[in-house]
Each structure stands twice: as structure tokens, then as C-alpha cells.
Amino acid sequence: MAAHIDVTSTPAAAPEPELRTAAGLLARLGQGNITSSAYDTAQLARLRTPHPHRGLHFPETVDWLLAHQHPDGSWGGTIAIPHDRAVCTLAATVALAEADRDQLLAPGSGAVPVARGVAYLARHSAQLRGDPHETVAFEMIFPTLLDQAQSLRLALPYADYAWIHDLKQRKLALFPTGSRHLASTLAHSLESLDDRLSPEELTGLAGTSGSIGCSPSSTAYAHTVRPTRDGLRFLQRTLRETPDGGAPTISPYEVFDRIWVLDNLRRGGLPTAFLRPHIEPLRAIWRDDGIGMAADGIPTDCDDTAVAIKLLRSIGHSVPLEVLRPFESPRGYRTYHFERHPSVSANIHVLNVLTTAPDTHRRQITSILAYLADSRTDSAYWYDKWHASAYYASCRALEVLSEVAPELGRATLEWLLDTRHSDGGWSAFEPFGTCEETAYAVSALIAAAPRYQLSLTTEITQAIAFLRTHQDEPLPELWLGKALYTPQLVVRSAILAALTRHHTSLTTTKGPGA
């Protein structure tokens, strides 16, 4: 929904330049692009046109792969995170090896990239065990790719990866026999099942967009089993909409895009009247079991649902907290059913909602707090399954915990202050700050400072100067899907929220709430 907003007449504490930027973000809700993924681009590169020609269905994807191999022979995000680099490199290597075998590449253009990809995987096989940043469905996808690489006789250290095959079998055991594909997160990674699916089993899985599981790679695989016009159109449209010709790792994701942008701006202090026209559409897509990252084609989850509840309540709509009950577990809340590990950030978002009714949800609140206390690293910070940087979950946790459980958040605040870089920013991976991670830190410090009775003016002022200097620079991929990605509007809104939150904090005696 792209309603016109006259920012000059909008009553708000935020300055006019930030309001205009916010209006620009809101006008693009549901249209924001995410960065291309080598993994998904490789899966589309494996599609062939029908007989008798059997050519590349999307030759531009092969060109993309050849142009985006890193100097060390790998494919993947800007920051070298082992799980991302491994799955992207293996997928790209298999795709190019198949195309080379089928004589679909220019003579001599495939052998060297394939050899460099194989060499990278052989050198880095040991890194996966110690990497806390597991990409989505890695335990499902990677073993299938290994089997395909072996059939291509690629010289990989297969024995080094045997433990991942074990993880796949444990994951498959979580799904009910006979209905494991339907209305489950497994639809997001159908390609991991390889030859286990029949055309009949794919019936009814696609959403209205033509996508299966909000995944270009899953949809591409489904097209090899049961070709459909809608699926092919979805893939064609997806490639057209990415700025560099690659395929994103998630699509569609219009609900996630809307919810997270709006929540960032709400917490940044933008007025309800300014946001209301963009929150209202959530009512139309709300379901009895909550909300998911897209209108259809993927199950609902407690993360999107919890944030949507907060948004809808902010404009006066009563949404029952009981919708979250099916996601309860003995240890906090599951984001999705059948998942192996819970999400820290999802539990924080649920906690933030449940604390609005503490008398009726004391048991659930206690359960989440116990989970958060037990899942900390070094008793101070958290890793999350949806984001590679510890600053994402930890800063969000500090915002909430400083209000509801300040003793639990105190060590996080100390860790945050201790890990600031000399340039005034924060980053878990770089010797200098990134705007995304710094924005999370700024919002957390502004929220926490009054609650811990601290003066953090110097730290916050320097971080704001960092953001204003670097906010227009490219954003590294830090979000964890099947591969690393950046949801551009979501991250830009987090940066903008930090700036507006700072401005608002200067005009009030108490920092804005979470």
C-alpha cells in the first residue's frame, strides 16, 4: 500500500528529512528487493528447456555464477561465513559441472571454475563443525548436493561430511509420515528430497504467486518434477526483479517486508498516524493461526505473528495472544513446527508481547526468560538462527530485558559497550563497524541507558555520527536464509529507526520503549 503522506503536516518528533526517508520506504513496502543468492541462482541454472533441445532455461544464471566466484574459489556472501560459503560453493560447482558435462558452456569456460570450487570445498571442510551460523535447511540441502557431486565424480572429501547426512535423517524423522511436505517448512527446501517426490505430491503446494515454499530453488526443483506455467512465470519474474540478474533466496516475502519495516519505524518513534495506513493491511491477511512471511505458500510462524500483534495493537486492534499458544514448547517458543533449534530473536519478540499481559502469561514469560538465560554465549550475548551477527538478537534482547528482566540484560549491556570499534560502530565480523549492526546497538543503548541509569551520550553520539557518514554504503549480507542475504528495506528501516530514535531521545526525559 503506497499511500501519500504529507510529511510537512505530520505531527512527529522526528525531523523532516527522516520523515521523508521513512515515507519513501513505506511507499515501497512489498516491493523491496533482497540480494541475490549464489545458491538459488545455481539451482535455477540447472533447469533445462524441454526436449528435444535441452538447453539452459535461464542462461543468465550461468553468466551470473561465472561472474560472482570469489578469488578463493568460493561462492557466497560478502563476509566469509563457512555454512554459507559451503552450500553456495557446492551448489554452484554442481550446476557448472552439469552444464559443462552437457556441453552447454562455451568451450573451456567451465572446467576452471569447477576445479576452483572443488579445491575450496576440500580446503575448508573442517570449518563447518565450529561455525555457529548454520544456514536454513543446511542439514537437508548439503547432503543432497554431496550425492549429486559424487555422481558427477567431483573429487570432494565426502567422508568429512558424513555427520551432516546423520543430521538430515534426524530432521526427516521430525516430519509425520505421508504428509511431511504439506503445510510444513519442508516445502521451502523440496530440492533436498531430490528423487523422492512424485508429481502428485506437488499438487496444491504452490502459492498464488506460483512459488513453492517462498523459495526460488524449491520452485525450480518442483518444475523438474511437475512443470507448471505458474511456476515458470514465477521464476522468470523473480529473475527480472533482482537488480543484478541473480535469484534471491526468499520470494515472495512481502508480509515479512511490511512487518519488519513497520516495527522498526514504530520503535524508532515515528507516530502511529504516520504508520497506520500501512499497518491496516495486516488485518486482511491475518489468519486464525497467525501470520507468515508471505500471504500464502508458507506456514505461519511465531516471529512474524508476535511482531504483527504488536503492530495491530498499536493502532487499537485487539488480537488475542492465544494465537501464539501452538508455538509453545518446553523450552521457550518454536518459530516453526518441526524445527531442530529455537530462535532467540523469535522468543524475544514473543516475550515483548506477552509482557503486556504478565498476570495471565507468567508461566510462559518465565519459560522464555529461562531459555534466554541458558542459551547465552559467555553469559552475555546470543547467536540467532535468522541472523549471522550476534548484535541482531543481543541488541533486541537488551531492549526488552532492560525493562522486564534488567539483571539478565546487564551483562549484555557491558558486552555491547566493550565490543565497540574505534570508529564508533559495531560489527561481529569486520574490524570496522557496519551500519546495520551499529543501528541495532544504537537502538539498544538508547533504550537501556535510562533503565540502568547510565549516561551513554559519548557512545551514542559517536555511533550516530558513524551512521550518518556511512548510511548510504552497500550493506553486507547478514541475514540467514538458505544463503546469506540482505532484505534491503528492512535494514534501511533499522538504520533510519536508530537515527529517529536518537532524535526523539534528545527531546524526552525517558528513552522510547521496546
- Does residue 215 lie in a domain region? yes
How sure is the predictor about 6, in pLDDT bands with cuts at 50, 70 and 90? very low
Judgement on whether residues 40 and 18 belong to the same structural domain of the protein = no
Q: What is the largest CA-CA distance in the chain?
A: 73
- How many domains in the chain? 2
Contacts (Cβ under 8 Å, ≥6 apart) of 68: 38, 75, 246
HSE (CB half, 13 Å, CA atoms) of 508? Answer: 17
Give residue 340's pLDDT.
80
Give the model confidence (pLDDT) of 46-94 as tens digits: 999 987 778 999 999 999 999 999 999 999 999 999 999 999 999 999 9
Q: Which residue has the cell 512424485?
A: 198
Q: Which residue has the cell 506456514?
A: 299
Give residue 30's pLDDT.
79
pTM of the model: 0.93
Judgement on whether residues 25 and 52 belong to the same structural domain of the protein = no
- Does residue 512 lie in a domain region? no
* Domain range enclosing 56: 36-248
DSSP H or E segment with residue 485? strand 484-485
**Candidate from 87-91, 296-300, 359-363, 397-401 with smallest mean pLDDT:** 296-300
Closest listed residue to residue 340, CA positions, set 192, 140, 475, 493 = 140
How sure is the predictor about 457, in pLDDT bands with cuts at 50, 70 and 90? very high
Closest listed residue to residue 246, CA positions, set 509, 483, 87 = 483
pLDDT exceeds 70 at position 511: no
Judgement on whether residues 202 and 97 belong to the same structural domain of the protein = yes
Give the model confidence (pLDDT) of 102-120 as tens digits: 999 999 899 999 999 999 9
Judgement on whether residues 236 and 92 belong to the same structural domain of the protein = yes
Helix axes 272-279, 254-267, angle to 10 degrees: 170
What are the CA-CA distances from residue 196 to residues 151, 201, 439, 483 (Å)?
A: 17, 10, 44, 23
Give residue 51's pLDDT.
77
Query: Strand, coil or helix: what is 347?
Result: helix
Judgement on whether residues 138 and 280 belong to the same structural domain of the protein = no
- Does residue 1 lie in a domain region? no
Give the model confidence (pLDDT) of 246-303 as tens digits: 999 999 999 999 999 999 999 999 999 999 999 999 999 999 999 999 988 788 999 9
Judgement on whether residues 98 and 206 belong to the same structural domain of the protein = yes
Last residue of a domain, one of 184, 219, 248: 248
CA dihedral 19→493→303→182, nearest 10 degrees, is: 110
Closest listed residue to residue 490, CA positions, set 221, 259, 239 = 259
Quote the mean pLDDT of the chain. 91
Judgement on whether residues 174 and 275 belong to the same structural domain of the protein = no
What are the CA-CA distances from residue 4 to residues 22, 23, 27, 309, 513 (Å)?
A: 12, 8, 8, 25, 28
Give the model confidence (pLDDT) of 131-155 as tens digits: 999 999 999 999 999 999 999 999 9
Judgement on whether residues 435 and 327 belong to the same structural domain of the protein = yes
Judgement on whether residues 329 and 279 belong to the same structural domain of the protein = yes
DSSP notation for 275-329: HHHHHTHHHHH-BTTB--SSSSSS---HHHHHHHHHHHHHTT----GGGGGGGB-
Judgement on whether residues 80 and 28 belong to the same structural domain of the protein = no
Which CATH number goes with the domain that contains 136? 1.50.10.160
Judgement on whether residues 153 and 278 belong to the same structural domain of the protein = no
Judgement on whether residues 25 and 79 belong to the same structural domain of the protein = no
143/166 Cα distance (integer angstroms):
9
486/222 Cα distance (integer angstroms):
25
What average pLDDT does this structure show over 25-47? 93
Which CATH number goes with the domain that contains 11? 1.50.10.20
